[in-house]
Protein backbone atom coordinates (compact mmCIF):
# COMPACT_ATOMS: atom_id res chain seq x y z
CA UNK A 1 0.00 0.00 0.00
CA UNK A 2 1.59 3.26 -1.08
CA UNK A 3 0.41 6.80 -0.66
CA UNK A 4 1.90 9.97 -1.98
CA UNK A 5 1.69 13.70 -1.58
CA UNK A 6 0.24 15.33 -4.70
CA UNK A 7 0.33 18.95 -3.60
CA UNK A 8 3.95 19.42 -2.54
CA UNK A 9 3.30 22.93 -1.24
CA UNK A 10 1.61 21.26 1.75
CA UNK A 11 4.96 20.05 3.12
CA UNK A 12 7.51 22.51 4.49
CA UNK A 13 10.32 21.56 6.88
CA UNK A 14 9.01 23.00 10.19
CA UNK A 15 12.60 23.63 11.37
CA UNK A 16 13.40 25.55 8.14
CA UNK A 17 16.86 24.03 8.11
CA UNK A 18 19.52 24.76 5.56
CA UNK A 19 22.97 23.19 5.66
CA UNK A 20 24.34 26.35 7.24
CA UNK A 21 21.65 26.46 9.93
CA UNK A 22 21.97 22.76 10.64
CA UNK A 23 25.73 22.99 11.14
CA UNK A 24 25.37 26.04 13.40
CA UNK A 25 22.64 24.34 15.44
CA UNK A 26 24.70 21.19 15.92
CA UNK A 27 27.80 23.20 16.84
CA UNK A 28 25.82 24.80 19.69
CA UNK A 29 24.39 21.44 20.76
CA UNK A 30 27.84 19.90 20.72
CA UNK A 31 29.25 22.64 22.93
CA UNK A 32 26.45 22.10 25.42
CA UNK A 33 26.92 18.32 25.31
CA UNK A 34 30.68 18.50 25.81
CA UNK A 35 30.25 20.86 28.78
CA UNK A 36 27.73 18.51 30.45
CA UNK A 37 29.92 15.55 29.74
CA UNK A 38 33.04 17.26 31.12
CA UNK A 39 31.18 17.78 34.41
CA UNK A 40 30.65 14.02 34.89
CA UNK A 41 33.04 12.63 37.54
CA UNK A 42 35.63 10.14 36.24
CA UNK A 43 34.23 7.28 38.40
CA UNK A 44 30.80 7.78 36.85
CA UNK A 45 32.30 7.76 33.33
CA UNK A 46 34.00 4.46 34.25
CA UNK A 47 30.70 3.03 35.55
CA UNK A 48 32.10 2.63 39.09
CA UNK A 49 29.13 4.52 40.56
CA UNK A 50 26.51 1.94 39.53
CA UNK A 51 25.75 -1.42 41.14
CA UNK A 52 26.69 -4.71 39.49
CA UNK A 53 22.97 -5.52 39.43
CA UNK A 54 22.26 -2.27 37.56
CA UNK A 55 24.78 -3.17 34.87
CA UNK A 56 23.41 -6.69 34.47
CA UNK A 57 19.92 -5.38 33.92
CA UNK A 58 20.97 -2.33 31.91
CA UNK A 59 22.43 -4.39 29.06
CA UNK A 60 18.90 -4.80 27.63
CA UNK A 61 18.27 -1.07 27.83
CA UNK A 62 21.67 -0.24 26.31
CA UNK A 63 20.91 -2.67 23.45
CA UNK A 64 17.48 -1.11 22.89
CA UNK A 65 19.12 2.30 22.65
CA UNK A 66 22.10 1.31 20.52
CA UNK A 67 20.32 -0.90 17.99
CA UNK A 68 17.39 1.51 17.59
CA UNK A 69 19.89 4.20 16.62
CA UNK A 70 21.83 1.81 14.40
CA UNK A 71 18.58 0.81 12.69
CA UNK A 72 17.66 4.48 12.33
CA UNK A 73 20.86 5.24 10.38
CA UNK A 74 19.89 2.50 7.91
CA UNK A 75 16.17 3.15 7.45
CA UNK A 76 16.55 6.93 7.24
CA UNK A 77 19.26 6.49 4.59
CA UNK A 78 16.78 4.37 2.60
CA UNK A 79 14.11 7.03 3.14
CA UNK A 80 16.50 9.73 1.86
CA UNK A 81 17.53 7.69 -1.16
CA UNK A 82 13.90 7.06 -2.20
CA UNK A 83 12.46 10.41 -1.15
CA UNK A 84 9.74 11.53 -3.59
CA UNK A 85 10.64 15.23 -3.33
CA UNK A 86 13.64 17.32 -2.28
CA UNK A 87 12.24 19.09 0.79
CA UNK A 88 11.56 15.70 2.36
CA UNK A 89 14.92 14.30 1.27
CA UNK A 90 16.65 17.20 3.01
CA UNK A 91 14.87 16.44 6.32
CA UNK A 92 15.92 12.78 6.02
CA UNK A 93 19.55 13.68 5.35
CA UNK A 94 19.84 15.93 8.41
CA UNK A 95 18.21 13.18 10.44
CA UNK A 96 20.78 10.70 9.12
CA UNK A 97 23.56 12.88 10.56
CA UNK A 98 21.68 13.08 13.89
CA UNK A 99 21.15 9.33 14.16
CA UNK A 100 24.83 8.66 13.42
CA UNK A 101 25.77 10.82 16.43
CA UNK A 102 23.22 9.08 18.66
CA UNK A 103 24.58 5.71 17.58
CA UNK A 104 28.10 6.71 18.54
CA UNK A 105 26.97 7.94 21.98
CA UNK A 106 25.27 4.61 22.67
CA UNK A 107 28.27 2.62 21.50
CA UNK A 108 30.42 4.53 23.95
CA UNK A 109 28.04 3.69 26.82
CA UNK A 110 28.45 -0.03 26.09
CA UNK A 111 32.22 0.35 25.87
CA UNK A 112 32.66 2.41 29.03
CA UNK A 113 30.37 0.09 30.97
CA UNK A 114 32.75 -2.72 29.97
CA UNK A 115 30.09 -4.89 28.30
CA UNK A 116 31.72 -7.22 25.75
CA UNK A 117 30.45 -6.70 22.20
CA UNK A 118 29.46 -10.38 21.87
CA UNK A 119 26.69 -9.75 24.46
CA UNK A 120 25.12 -6.78 22.65
CA UNK A 121 23.23 -8.44 19.82
CA UNK A 122 21.83 -11.38 21.86
CA UNK A 123 20.39 -8.83 24.31
CA UNK A 124 18.70 -7.01 21.43
CA UNK A 125 17.36 -10.19 19.85
CA UNK A 126 15.90 -11.50 23.12
CA UNK A 127 12.10 -11.33 23.58
CA UNK A 128 10.68 -8.09 24.96
CA UNK A 129 12.84 -5.64 22.99
CA UNK A 130 12.11 -3.21 20.16
CA UNK A 131 13.96 -5.54 17.73
CA UNK A 132 10.82 -6.83 15.95
CA UNK A 133 9.64 -3.32 15.16
CA UNK A 134 12.97 -2.11 13.79
CA UNK A 135 13.59 -5.26 11.74
CA UNK A 136 10.21 -4.63 10.12
CA UNK A 137 11.09 -1.01 9.28
CA UNK A 138 14.44 -2.12 7.86
CA UNK A 139 12.60 -4.22 5.28
CA UNK A 140 10.65 -1.23 3.96
CA UNK A 141 11.77 0.88 1.02
CA UNK A 142 8.93 3.38 0.70
CA UNK A 143 9.94 6.75 2.20
CA UNK A 144 6.43 7.73 3.31
CA UNK A 145 5.78 4.40 5.03
CA UNK A 146 9.19 4.51 6.77
CA UNK A 147 8.59 8.05 8.03
CA UNK A 148 5.06 7.34 9.21
CA UNK A 149 6.05 4.18 11.07
CA UNK A 150 9.48 5.12 12.42
CA UNK A 151 9.30 8.90 12.90
CA UNK A 152 5.63 9.59 13.47
CA UNK A 153 4.60 6.47 15.38
CA UNK A 154 7.78 5.14 17.00
CA UNK A 155 9.63 8.38 17.68
CA UNK A 156 6.37 10.16 18.40
CA UNK A 157 5.75 7.56 21.08
CA UNK A 158 9.29 7.08 22.36
CA UNK A 159 10.22 10.71 21.95
CA UNK A 160 10.54 13.43 24.55
CA UNK A 161 8.54 11.66 27.29
CA UNK A 162 10.37 8.36 27.40
CA UNK A 163 13.82 9.90 27.03
CA UNK A 164 13.09 11.97 30.14
CA UNK A 165 12.01 8.82 32.03
CA UNK A 166 15.14 6.98 30.86
CA UNK A 167 17.41 9.89 31.78
CA UNK A 168 15.94 10.27 35.27
CA UNK A 169 16.01 6.51 35.87
CA UNK A 170 19.65 6.21 34.79
CA UNK A 171 20.72 9.21 36.87
CA UNK A 172 18.96 7.92 40.00
CA UNK A 173 21.01 4.71 39.68
CA UNK A 174 24.34 6.52 39.25
CA UNK A 175 24.52 6.23 35.45
CA UNK A 176 25.08 9.91 34.78
CA UNK A 177 26.64 9.37 31.36
CA UNK A 178 23.49 7.67 30.00
CA UNK A 179 21.38 10.46 31.49
CA UNK A 180 23.45 13.15 29.73
CA UNK A 181 23.23 11.22 26.46
CA UNK A 182 19.46 10.78 26.67
CA UNK A 183 18.97 14.48 27.33
CA UNK A 184 21.31 15.39 24.47
CA UNK A 185 19.25 13.55 21.86
CA UNK A 186 15.82 14.82 22.90
CA UNK A 187 15.94 17.97 20.75
CA UNK A 188 16.96 16.01 17.64
CA UNK A 189 14.21 13.44 18.17
CA UNK A 190 11.69 16.23 18.66
CA UNK A 191 12.70 17.64 15.26
CA UNK A 192 12.32 14.20 13.62
CA UNK A 193 8.82 13.89 15.07
CA UNK A 194 7.89 17.43 13.97
CA UNK A 195 8.62 16.95 10.29
CA UNK A 196 6.85 13.57 10.30
CA UNK A 197 3.83 15.22 11.92
CA UNK A 198 3.77 17.89 9.22
CA UNK A 199 4.03 15.14 6.60
CA UNK A 200 1.14 13.13 8.06
CA UNK A 201 -1.03 16.24 8.32
CA UNK A 202 -0.22 17.15 4.70
CA UNK A 203 -1.04 13.62 3.49
CA UNK A 204 -4.43 13.64 5.22
CA UNK A 205 -5.30 17.11 3.91
CA UNK A 206 -4.12 16.11 0.45
CA UNK A 207 -6.44 13.09 0.33
CA UNK A 208 -8.67 12.10 3.29
CA UNK A 209 -8.47 8.46 2.11
CA UNK A 210 -4.82 8.47 3.21
CA UNK A 211 -6.02 8.47 6.82
CA UNK A 212 -7.01 4.80 6.68
CA UNK A 213 -3.61 3.76 5.31
CA UNK A 214 -1.84 5.72 8.04
CA UNK A 215 -4.19 4.15 10.61
CA UNK A 216 -3.19 0.68 9.37
CA UNK A 217 0.52 1.59 9.57
CA UNK A 218 -0.02 2.84 13.13
CA UNK A 219 -1.82 -0.39 14.12
CA UNK A 220 0.97 -2.52 12.61
CA UNK A 221 3.67 -0.51 14.33
CA UNK A 222 2.16 -0.43 17.80
CA UNK A 223 1.40 -4.14 17.54
CA UNK A 224 5.13 -4.78 17.05
CA UNK A 225 5.88 -2.85 20.25
CA UNK A 226 3.38 -4.73 22.41
CA UNK A 227 5.88 -7.33 23.54
CA UNK A 228 8.07 -4.61 25.05
CA UNK A 229 5.24 -3.77 27.45
CA UNK A 230 4.80 -7.34 28.65
CA UNK A 231 6.27 -8.43 31.93
CA UNK A 232 4.91 -5.60 34.03
CA UNK A 233 8.24 -3.88 34.71
CA UNK A 234 7.87 -1.62 31.73
CA UNK A 235 4.28 -0.75 32.43
CA UNK A 236 5.05 2.87 33.26
CA UNK A 237 7.19 3.15 30.14
CA UNK A 238 4.39 1.72 27.96
CA UNK A 239 1.74 4.08 29.34
CA UNK A 240 3.99 7.07 28.64
CA UNK A 241 4.84 5.65 25.22
CA UNK A 242 1.20 5.43 24.10
CA UNK A 243 0.27 8.73 25.74
CA UNK A 244 2.98 10.70 23.89
CA UNK A 245 1.97 9.13 20.60
CA UNK A 246 -1.78 9.65 20.95
CA UNK A 247 -1.16 13.25 21.91
CA UNK A 248 0.07 13.94 18.37
CA UNK A 249 -2.01 11.33 16.51
CA UNK A 250 -5.57 11.76 17.78
CA UNK A 251 -5.83 15.48 16.85
CA UNK A 252 -5.08 14.44 13.24
CA UNK A 253 -8.07 12.09 13.18
CA UNK A 254 -6.32 8.79 13.98
CA UNK A 255 -7.94 6.39 16.46
CA UNK A 256 -6.29 4.46 19.30
CA UNK A 257 -5.18 0.97 18.14
CA UNK A 258 -6.81 -2.02 19.80
CA UNK A 259 -3.86 -3.79 21.41
CA UNK A 260 -3.78 -6.99 23.47
CA UNK A 261 -2.09 -5.47 26.52
Q: Could you list the residues that contact Fe ion (CB under 5 A)? A: 69, 99, 102, 189, 192
Closest to Fe ion by CB, 176 or 184 = 184
Burial of residue 184, with CB atoms counted within 10 A of its CB: 0-12 exposed, 13-18 middle, 19 or more buried = buried
The backbone region for 231, taken as left when phi is positive above 0, alpha when psi lies in -120 to 50, beta otherwise, is left
CB of 48 to Fe ion, least distance (A): 28
Note the helical H segments in the chain. 19-38, 42-45, 52-81, 86-112, 120-125, 131-138, 143-146, 156-158, 160-172, 176-206, 210-229, 235-249
CB of 203 to Fe ion, least distance (A): 20
Closest to Fe ion by CB, 3 or 103 = 103
Closest to Fe ion by CB, 102 or 173 = 102
Closest to Fe ion by CB, 149 or 192 = 192
Closest to Fe ion by CB, 66 or 217 = 66
Please count the other Cβ atoms lying within 10 Å of the Cβ belonging to residue 221.
22
CB of 232 to Fe ion, least distance (A): 27
Distance CA 100, CA 88 (A): 19
CB of 192 to Fe ion, least distance (A): 4
If we measure between CA atoms, which residue out of 207, 105, 192 comes closest to residue 146?
192
CA angle 62, 166, 224 (to 5 degrees): 70
CB-nearest residue to Fe ion:
102
CB of 187 to Fe ion, least distance (A): 11
Closest to Fe ion by CB, 99 or 175 = 99
CB of 148 to Fe ion, least distance (A): 14
Asked if 233 and 145 count as a contact pair (C-beta separation under 8 A), the reply is no
Distance CA 179, CA 139 (A): 31
Amino acid sequence: MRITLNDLSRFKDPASLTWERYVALQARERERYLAERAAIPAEAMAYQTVSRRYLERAVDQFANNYYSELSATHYIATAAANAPFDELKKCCLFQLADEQRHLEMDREVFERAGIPERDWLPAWEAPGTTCRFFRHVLELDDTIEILVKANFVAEGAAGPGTFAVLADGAEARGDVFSAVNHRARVRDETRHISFARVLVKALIEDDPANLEVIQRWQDESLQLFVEVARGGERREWWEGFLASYYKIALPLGLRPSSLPV
